[in-house]
Amino acid sequence: MSALPTPPPASLATLFCGMQFASPIVLLSGCVGFGEEYTRVEGFSNTDCGAVVLKGTTLHARLGNPAHRVYETDGGMLNAIGLQNPGVAHVVANILPGLDFGETRFIANVSGSTIDEYVAVTRRFDDSPVDAMEINISCPNVKEGGVQFGNHPEMSARVVAACRAATQKPLITKLSPNQTDIRESARVCIEAGSDALSVINTMMGMAIDVKTRRPVIGNIQGGLSGPAVKPIALLKVHQVYDVARRHGVPIIGQGGIANATDALEFIVAGASAVGVGTALFYDPHVCRKINAGIAAYLAEHGFASVDALVGTLDTTRG
């Protein structure tokens, strides 16, 4: 009796908005600067991640918020950088030429204080080699723009529609968890022209120094990320998945992913790709470990690809 054929190895490659990702991992905006801060890490391989989302970029240069900007909390991190960046013209002219676009996919993060600014930044990146753009309508640590747009579905849709008219490149809308109905926000953003969704941005939070009775963060509030937000992010992905699936729109699931099990939970809940951010600060090689764990799980459970695992959550009760 002949031996059974060995099944082919499970593939980590995935197609996301027409872009071929070597891995389902996406490095999140704000955690790896403008890409070169991570791709130059010793041992980095172009298979470690499918894409890198560049630092949030505005029309004009921004100095960001006053110190302190970052504070470690139990199970997470508060940050209120305030979108410090040199402005889109500088990024396109001086930073993008230094990136190796054969190494991985690079996604710009479009930020602004007004719809006109979002459009201007989108147009500038449209005339650049970036592969796609993430619309940041949900940043909780800037006083204008950001949450103002992301917490109101109608405003979110207006931003997306305006950006959609300014580019043919894939648009990924980053949704805020700090709103009443994230499903409604997902629906209107998709109908306005979003090709994909990032779920979720950071949660609003703060910390207080009891010795001085003053806020630790100079901006008073900041965005909470890390393992503490994972259960919330996972639920939001699950809630958005039905809407996204009906429209054929993929999701980047993110929020507290620190190991392969975390990533697998998001994929099962409906994410086609998974974002890694805060974990990179204490383990720059965490992506390789997550990839290895995902591959082992796919092989053990008979899935030929990551795509085959997406949205396989069984909510029936035995």
Catalytic positions: 139
Place of tokens 């992905």: 237
The token duo for 143 is 């006083």
Beta bridge partners of 62: 85
Token reading at 147: 């949450």
Q: How far apart are CA 68 and CA 83, in angstroms?
A: 14
- Reply yes or no: is the peptide bond before residue 68 cis, omega within 30 of 0: yes
Task: Measure the CA–CA gap between 60 and 214, rounded to whole angstroms.
Answer: 31
Q: Is 14 helix (H, G, I), strand (E, B) or coil?
A: strand
- Alpha carbon distance, N-terminus to C-terminus of the chain: 39
Which residues, in sequence order, are bridge partners of residue 236? Answer: none
Q: Is 310 exposed, middle or buried (0-12, 13-18, 19+ CB in 10 A)?
A: buried
Rg (CA), the chain: 19
